[in-house]
Amino acid sequence: MCGRTACTLAADEVSRASHYRDRGGQRRQPRWKDGDSDKYRPSYNKSPQSLSPVLLSQKHFDKNAPVDECVLAAMRWGLVPAWFRENDPSKMQYSTNNCRSESLLEKKSYKDPLLKGQRCVILADGFYEWRRQEKEKQPFFIYFPQTQGPAHLKTEDVDERPCKEPQSYPSGEGSVDLKQEDKIDSEWKGWRLLTIAGLFDCWTPPSGGDPLYTYTVITVEAAPKLQGIHDRMPAILDGEEEVRRWLDFSEVKSLDALKLLQSKNTLIFHPVSSLVNNSRNNSPECLQHVDLQAKKKPSASSKMMMGWLKSSTSSKRKEPDIGVVKEEWPSEAGPERKPKAGGPLQQWLLGATKKPRIN
């Protein structure tokens, strides 16, 4: 299934990495819903109940907005149905972190938001999955192949291009139109985020209070490449067209949208430390590639990677949700320090002289 993700980009980087196309083919950059960029926290180890960046139609918040205009929101992982009658969402008796694509129309918790068009895209650097072996479980980090080219393209269509620092745009409601002359410079060349299909709902406590937006990750049968780790995987949307169709609930009706939920055999992965098993551990070590043949002794490439991770932490990144001791972040990080383009994962996978071994 999917019980842990990572999203280490800062809020403005998430926006730049989430370009999409509207119905007219115009490239656009989503802005954050009011106040949500402050709620979001980058994390190397996101677990259910934490807030994740989610892309969805602006029309869910503004009835006068075009359905193909997208916005970013910070939503809590673990869907709380609108009809739930308790005042404390933690009193739900069943898990809604994941929902199986095969049974979306069978369970009210998922059928209602699906038929209302409440489709969303969860954004993440990648997700963790555990392979059972003898008496223990071995965790893996799973993500899109990273190439020096525009990060919005479908995996098979990515060209080799030199990296270039992307431009930033003002924050606010709605999306920013990218003019023709700005398209090349504005293309995000950093880490390509996973785009995961999900459903969301809005719950308000019966006794009154602020509405709570929550989501669930849709899962499908694992692709052949991943079946040796687990028999299920998140439903991945590969490329702008699949993202657009999943979010455009007016043009693409529910039954047609379900056809987009397919196993994707394009993802790659590497083994990581069991440190990630505890959701309170939230540091670059969670993503570190480990040598399964010599787990007790870190390899030279692992040590090098940790150096890159620690030296390139962006000054824009807020402190993670939980479990990180401040000393784990570089002491020199501050407003005066320029972050390296693309963040620590990008520097590692694209700039390293030694690549991690991909199983």
Residue 308 within any structural domain of the chain? no
Residue 288 within any structural domain of the chain? no
Instruction: Name the amino acid, one letter, at 129.
Output: E
Q: What pLDDT was estimated at residue 300?
A: 53
Is 129 considered catalytic here?
A: yes
Is 136 considered catalytic here?
A: no
Residue 170 within any structural domain of the chain? yes
Q: What pLDDT was estimated at residue 136?
A: 87
Q: What pLDDT was estimated at residue 304?
A: 53
Residue 116 within any structural domain of the chain? yes
Residue 287 within any structural domain of the chain? no
Block means of pLDDT (10 residues each) for the chain, 359 residues, are 90 95 89 95 96 97 94 97 91 92 95 97 97 88 80 50 30 47 62 97 92 97 95 95 95 96 95 94 94 64 54 48 34 35 52 40
Task: Provide the token pair at 12.
Answer: 């403005």
Give Cα 40 distance to the centre of its chain. Answer: 12
Q: What pLDDT was estimated at residue 107?
A: 94
- The 3 state secondary structure assigned to the chain is CCCCEEECCCHHHHHHCCCEECCCCCEEEEEECCCHHHHCCCEEEECCCCEEEEEEEHHHCCCCCCCCCEEEEEEEECCCCCCCCCCCHHHCCCCCCEEEHHHCCCCHHHHHHHHCCCEEEEEECEEEEEEEECCEEEEEEEECCCCCCCCCCCHHHCCCCCCCCCCCCCCCCCEEECCHHHHHHHCCCCCCCEEEEEEEEEECCCCCCCCEEEEEEEEEECCHHHCCCCCEEECECCCHHHHHHHHCCCCCCHHHHHHHCCCCCCCEEEEECHHHHCCCCCCHHHHCECCCCCCCCCCHHHHHHHHHHHHCCCCCCCCCCCCCCHHHCCCCCCCCCCCCCCHHHHHHHHHCCCCCCCC
CATH number of domain containing 51: 3.90.1680.10
Residue 10 within any structural domain of the chain? yes
Catalytic residue among 69, 129, 187, 242: 129
Residue pair 132/139 in contact by the 8 Å Cβ criterion: no
Catalytic residue among 2, 70, 99, 286: 2
Residue 303 within any structural domain of the chain? no
Q: What pLDDT was estimated at residue 162?
A: 30
The span from the CA of 278 to the CA of 16, in Å, is 31
Task: Provide the token pair at 155.
Answer: 């995996």
Give me the domain span that covers residue 57. 5-279
Residue 309 within any structural domain of the chain? no
The span from the CA of 38 to the CA of 282, in Å, is 19
Domains of the chain: total: 1
